[in-house]
Amino acid sequence: MERLISEFLVHLRGRSFSPNTLLAYTTDLREFADFLKERGKTAVSDFTRHNVRAWLALMQSDLPKRNTVLRKVSALRSFAAWLEENEISPENPFLLLPLPRKEKLLPRFLSEDEVSSLSRAASADDKSGPRNFALAELMYSSGLRRAEVSGLNAGDVDFMGGHVRVMGKGSKERIVPVGDSALAALRAYLAGRGNVIAGAPLFLNKNRKRLTGHGIALTLKTSARRAGAARHVTPHMLRHSFATHLLDRGADLRGVQEMLGHKNLATTQIYTHVSLEKLKQVYDNAHPRSKSGGRKP
């Protein structure tokens, strides 16, 4: 089983999966292999519906978030499909196996005032202020994933055209607009670094190496703490804020989908629910026939 898992992971690397996805698949598959080993089962023939059901029951009792369980299921299903495709296993253990439904959670996002406070706090850092400010502004202005931001080079920013060239999931390239505020912050940051070649990383850490996804998350966490944020701020919250604020101000859903790099429109549509919640609040506060009866004059 462990040898086949290793071969499957090599297969995934050849399909340009993101480092984060590969790490998650590796962790989840090794975890399942350990589960079987504890029960004295190490052969691929032990990858059965019965054992998957037992593993699924354990995961659902141990993990509080259903979507985390489903992510692990996704790794196992991909592995099972690969085994079947290569005629290593005659039966797919997930065939007709009932699975838990995905939780429909609304994305957490920052208000426009909270984003402004975050940017101000980022710029106040004595040593890394220009970089941190440019980072926060770019992520909010473009809605990029942290892995996408980490992978950017200086030459990927088109200051004249007002956009950035991004390599997204599945090695798919896209062009994303960048606002004037973010472009100005990037200019100031790069000017402070001196002569920057096009192939150099856009954001550097304290060791003058490429700023990693983990480094980006830590930077935003520090800026949020400096801003006095009452909740934990993540890079994805800026991405959620980008999409939500665009739709709140009338942006086209298809356009937002392209900018976010979503393959399916349904993935983007979750942000319309957030916007609808805001509209309902406005309605409840203003309409005389709403639940609250509207605001009194």
Instruction: Please give the positions annotated as active site.
Output: 145, 169, 236, 239, 262, 271
| Helix/strand/coil (H/E/C) assignment for every residue in 131-169 | HHHHHHHHHHHHCCCHHHHHCCEHHHEECCCCEEEEECH
User: Are 4 and 83 spatial neighbours (Cβ–Cβ below 8 Å)?
Assistant: yes
Q: Which residues are CB-contacts of 105 (< 8 A; sequence separation ≥ 6)?
A: 67
Can you name the residues that pair with 120 across neighbouring β-strands?
none
Q: Which residues are CB-contacts of 108 (< 8 A; sequence separation ≥ 6)?
A: 231, 237, 240
Separation between Cα atoms, residue 11 and residue 5, nearest integer Å: 10
Q: Which residues are CB-contacts of 216 (< 8 A; sequence separation ≥ 6)?
A: 135, 139, 146, 149, 150, 203, 235
